[in-house]
Amino acid sequence: QVQLVESGGDLVQAGGSLRLSCAASGSRIVINIMGWYRQAPGKERELVAMITRGSRGLTTNVTDAVKGRFTVSIDGAQNTLYLQMSNLQAEDTAVYYCNANVWTAATGSQYYWGQGTQVTVSS
């Protein structure tokens, strides 16, 4: 069974940095898409960043709200997605979730969610 496990969330002061990770595990998996979402209390879940495979290799996208501060990357050998977060602000406080489209022999391609990791930024 495919599992996504996030880690790296913490309590930090404004201006600080964190690196989140999302490790995908399973037998004979092929990852097509991996991305980060976040959800603050009382707010809708929103897309933060993602990586997709295309004809010219990997393509990264970061939403305007975090552009210039957050960087998404992937370690293909370890099936691990990262989100490097710098100059964190109070409005970045949220639960951050990993999402991935993963192929397996048993189920084909499906989307999976991790359980989330809490990021709290204090002023």
Asked if 20 and 96 touch (Cβ cutoff 8 Å), the reply is: yes
Residue 77 neighbours by CB distance under 10 Å = 6
Say yes or no to pLDDT of 111 above 90. Answer: yes
d(CA 87, CA 109): 36
Asked if 104 and 1 touch (Cβ cutoff 8 Å), the reply is: no
Say yes or no to pLDDT of 43 above 90. Answer: yes
pLDDT per position as a tens digit, 50-99: 999 878 888 999 999 999 999 999 998 889 999 999 999 999 999 999 99
Check residue 118 and give its pLDDT: 98
pLDDT per position as a tens digit, 73-87: 999 888 999 999 999
Mean pLDDT of 10-36: 95
